[in-house]
Structure 1
Amino acid sequence: MHEELYRVIGIDFTKVPGFNVLSIQTIISETGINHNKWPTEKHFSSWLGLSPGNKITGEKVFSTKTCKVTNRAANALRLAAHCVSKSNTTLGAQCRRWKKRLGAPKAITAMARKLACIFYSMLKYGQEYVEKGIDYYEKLYQDRVMKNLSKKASEFGYILVKKDELVQGVS
């Protein structure tokens, strides 16, 4: 089944964490293999109902919930996102971090949208998915946290110094 799917589409989607042959078949059967219908991945994720709504009137935000769409492709992407959250990959680490911050339902929808964007770019541009690993993501996250922390400290007039750089023996 996997070889036949690869022969028809020409791209191996099973390299993406969370995607299996059944979920790929479901998404392809709903969307087709011609993605010229959607100019960008934002349009694609909005069509799937994975983008947040924007109910604003008079500069007041009333709701940012996603629209209710009964789309089998969106359901398959949500299922794949749930599988990703349990995996030991870059996307899994990101999903777990989103779960802590946003809560499980919003994190699953956000990861489903990210998977939809990956799916769109792989199909439209023929890009291959490259897993960089959880260590790469954790290093990027630590660098981002340190940059934000040092920026915040400088706003308050402090300087951050690493423990290793402290002068020993001064008292």
Structure 2
Amino acid sequence: MYGLLGCDVTQIHGLGPYLTLKLVGECGTNLSAWPSAKHFTSWLCLSPSNKISGGKVLSSRTRRSNSRAAALLRLAAVAVGRTQTALGAFYRRLSARVGKAKAVTATARKIAVLFYNTLRHGMEYSDPGASCYQERCRRRVLTNLE
């Protein structure tokens, strides 16, 4: 993978060698077609499409897609939900609050952003762990309550 892409994408939890090869087959190795990670996730239909009329939000749902890349990222998100990583803790916290389907989409979007940043900008990913993520959320809640 390192010889093909120039960086190790498999450090991101949920992305193994097989899934990474399939994602590269769908998206390519050069992600310069998308100016930012937001454009990339929108192309994958993993970000909400806001329908606004007269300043009122009519709909804020993700679009349906037949994208194989989005389906692969959703599978990775489900697999990550069972791990003791920061992404797994994010999935579990969100699924308890908004439901499994929205949590899968949100985690898939987060994995897609990590994939984009790793390939496009050469970012190194290191997982802080589930306990660090939960402690950061706890601190954020306490500061908001104060």
Structure 1 position 59, deviation (Å): 2.2
Aligned partner of 1:131 in structure 2 is 127
Percent identity over the alignment is 44
Amino acid of the structure 1 residue aligned with 2:99: G
Distance in 2 of aligned mates of 1:74 and 1:26: 11
What CA RMSD, in Å, does the superposition of the two structures yield over aligned residues?
A: 1.0
In structure 1, the gaps of 5 or more residues are: 151-171
User: Structure with the greater relative contact order (CA < 8 A, sep ≥ 6): 1 or 2?
Assistant: 2
Distance in 1 of aligned mates of 2:145 and 2:65: 40
Distance in 1 of aligned mates of 2:128 and 2:56: 40
Aligned partner of 1:158 in structure 2 is none
Runs of 4+ in 1 over 3 A off after TM superposition: none
For residues 1-171 of structure 1, the aligned pairs below 5 Å read 5-150=1-146
Structure 1 position 19, deviation (Å): 0.9
SS at match of 2:105: helix
TM-score, with structure 2 as normaliser: 0.96
In structure 2, the gaps of 5 or more residues are: none
Distance in 2 of aligned mates of 1:62 and 1:127: 37
Amino acid of the structure 2 residue aligned with 1:44: F
Higher strand proportion: 2
Distance in 2 of aligned mates of 1:7 and 1:136: 32
Distance in 2 of aligned mates of 1:138 and 1:67: 30
Distance in 2 of aligned mates of 1:48 and 1:22: 19
Structure 1 position 6, deviation (Å): 2.3
Structure of greater Rg: 1
Distance in 2 of aligned mates of 1:30 and 1:20: 15
SS at match of 2:49: coil
TM-score, with structure 1 as normaliser: 0.82
Distance in 1 of aligned mates of 2:120 and 2:134: 29
**More displaced 10-residue stretch of structure 1: 119-128 or 18-27:** 18-27
Distance in 2 of aligned mates of 1:111 and 1:32: 22
Post-superposition CA distance 1:89-119 (Å, at most 9, x none): 0110011001011111011001100000000
